[in-house]
Amino acid sequence: MTLLKKIDMAEAGEPVAAKCAPEKLIAGDPDFLTWAFDDTNDGKIRTGIWQATPGENHSIKGEMFEFCHLLEGVIEMTEEGHPPRIFRKGDSFVMKPGYRGVWKTIETVRKIYVIVG
């Protein structure tokens, strides 16, 4: 088994479809697709590709640290107590433990993610 893994859509397989949890939904009816590449048995580290159609929802990280790199789309992130920030294809950002805010997908977004928590 190799410990070096390329994140490649050609090797991703079928995604898992999901909807936004009703208690997190603010506006719209976004559809989510997740192509999971790695998930440690204890769930503390997860990597993959995630896609969302337009909509708006609460984003709460709790104890999780999440790195995101946008492959497609446009989003607006509004951290509690801070002005909105726009991120586009090619941008990367980190949501640190304790992050609370609003994730608004303006144009269908696809991101690579690494979650540690």
- For 16-48, how does the pLDDT look when each residue is reduced to its tens digit (9 = 90+)? 999 999 999 999 999 999 998 876 667 788 899
In a domain, residue 7? The reply is no
pLDDT in tens, 67-115: 999 999 999 999 999 999 999 999 999 999 999 999 999 999 999 999 9
Q: What is the domain extent for residue 53?
A: 15-116
- Residue ranges of the alpha helices (H) in the chain? none
Q: What tens digit of pLDDT does each residue of 40-72 get?
A: 667 788 899 999 999 999 999 989 999 999 999
Within a domain: 4: no
**Is 32 part of any domain?**
yes
Residue 107 lies in a domain: yes
CATH number at residue 73: 2.60.120.10
Q: Number of folded domains in the chain?
A: 1
Q: Assess if residue 77 is contained within a domain.
A: yes
